[in-house]
Amino acid sequence: MKIAFFDTKSYDIEVFEPKLKQSKIRYKFYDTRLNEDCVVLAKGCDAVCVFVNDVVNKDVIDQLSEYGVKIIALRCAGFNNVDYKYAAQKGITVVRVPAYSPYAVAEHAMSLLLTSTRKIHKAYIRTRDFNFSLQGLTGFDLHGKTVGVIGTGKIGKVFIDICKGFGMKVLAYDKFPADIPDVEYKTLDEVYRESDILSFHCPLTDDTRHMFNLGTLGKIKPGVVIINTSRGALTDADALLEGIKTKKIGAACLDVYEEESGYFYEDLSDSIIDDDTLSRLISMPNVIVTSHQAFLTKEALQNIAETTIDNVLTIDSGKECPNIVI
């Protein structure tokens, strides 16, 4: 068994390499992302391991099939960047890591919310310059506020528990409601209308793409705080920008961005960003952007490595794997 790892960073190598050596899997790490131009790097491999911004479309899958690749292993939960149905037609099995650490993502969402509402990011910059003025740093209590949680899977449930700890009222929307104490499920429009804070925790599908859009701006409470730590395309970036400009949105906390591929995970500090929407969002004083780092904890990385390798070995041995994308 030989695996080609794409879009790898130092933290990936640190957790994967010891486990790969222990399992006696041959491997090669590439920092480039998988796409039509570099799929040739998978030649001679039995499997490829990819991340959220790798492109695994029909053209890439055709090449992988020609090279004899039998497994596409996602080291993440989302799989919207992989044409998994076409892969199945070509005899390639797609597996993922459905739950690496819901706590990591939920805690990051709350960290963004607290940073935004209490202006911690601004205070940090000020005090580094020995500016101890409190002017412009007034926040608001989370206690007693209504939070709308859109998507109540594992991450959404953990985020709900955290919000309850702050004394917040929780409204929720999910196509498949769960039995969660002290949580009221409502329609999506009702959640939009009644929430002081909206947090998105659902996968990206045809149904959820741009579930927050220009039309949504007429439904939300003025000054609502938007949190997205799931997938960028759940929230239309142009709608977010318009909402912030018109003051319909009070703040936005974004760990993901619709067109993040090519930007996130890279050091572009000496570059000119040609995405005007992203540049304008980052320039807004009430917008916090982190570069898809909500998953990035030691515990989550360990779980990702263990599950990914176990997925590959299980498929290779002909056993049934519970993490196949179908």
Q: What is the pLDDT of residues 300-317, one digit of tens each?
A: 999 999 999 999 999 999
Q: What is the pLDDT of residues 313-322, one digit of tens each?
A: 999 999 999 9
Do 41 and 122 have their domain in common?
no
- Using an 8 Å Cβ cutoff, are 159 and 183 in contact? no
Q: Which of 190, 231, 258, 320 is catalytic?
A: 231
Q: What is the pLDDT of residues 195-208, one digit of tens each?
A: 999 999 999 999 99
* pLDDT reported for residue 239: 97
* pLDDT reported for residue 233: 96
The tokens of 310 are what? 């176990």
Do 73 and 106 have their domain in common?
no
| 292 counts as catalytic | yes
When the pLDDT of each residue in the chain is averaged and rounded to a whole number, the result is: 96
Do 86 and 128 have their domain in common?
no
Do 107 and 211 have their domain in common?
yes
Q: Which of 292, 299, 306, 320 is catalytic?
A: 292
Do 225 and 303 have their domain in common?
no
* pLDDT reported for residue 262: 87
Q: What is the pLDDT of residues 81-128, one digit of tens each?
A: 999 999 999 999 999 999 899 999 999 999 999 999 999 999 999 999
| 209 counts as catalytic | no
Neighbouring residues of 172: CB distance < 8 A, sequence distance ≥ 6: 148, 149, 150, 152, 156, 160, 180, 183, 184, 185, 186, 191
Question: Mean pLDDT across the stretch 9-17?
Answer: 97
The tokens of 32 are what? 């480039």
| Beta-bridge mates of residue 146 | 169
Domain tally for the chain?
A: 2
CATH of the domain at 63: 3.40.50.720
Do 66 and 138 have their domain in common?
no
Do 216 and 281 have their domain in common?
yes
The tokens of 178 are what? 């769960």
Question: Mean pLDDT across the stretch 231-256?
Answer: 97
Question: What is the span of the domain harbouring residue 62?
Answer: 2-100+297-316
Q: d(Cα 303, Cα 210) in Å, to the nearest integer?
A: 30
Do 117 and 255 have their domain in common?
yes
**Burial, 133: exposed, middle or buried (Cβ in 10 Å; 0-12, 13-18, 19+)?**
exposed
- At 294, which amino acid appears? A
Q: Which of 66, 260, 280, 306 is catalytic?
A: 260
Helix or strand run (H / E) with residue 254: strand 249-254
* pLDDT reported for residue 261: 87
pTM attached to this predicted model: 0.91
| 320 counts as catalytic | no
Q: What is the pLDDT of residues 227-241, one digit of tens each?
A: 999 999 999 999 999
Tell me whether residue 89 is in a domain: yes
Burial 218-234 (b: 16+ CB within 10 A, else e): ebbbeebbbbbbbbbbb
How many C-beta atoms lie closer than 10 Å to residue 107's C-beta? 17
pLDDT above 90 covers what percent of the chain?
A: 98
Do 18 and 159 have their domain in common?
no
How many angstroms separate the Cα of 8 from the Cα of each of 49, 86, 168, 217? 9, 25, 39, 38
pLDDT above 70 covers what percent of the chain?
A: 100
Question: Long-range CB contacts (< 8 A, 24+ apart) of 308-311?
Answer: 308/16, 308/49, 308/73, 308/74, 308/75, 308/95, 308/97, 309/16, 309/19, 309/20, 309/23, 309/25, 311/71, 311/73, 311/95, 311/96, 311/97
Question: Mean pLDDT across the stretch 248-254?
Answer: 98
Query: Strand order of the sheet with strand 287-289?
Result: 183-185, 169-173, 146-150, 197-200, 224-228, 249-254, 287-289
Do 278 and 301 have their domain in common?
no
Q: d(Cα 183, Cα 168) in Å, to the nearest integer?
A: 10
Tell me whether residue 322 is in a domain: no
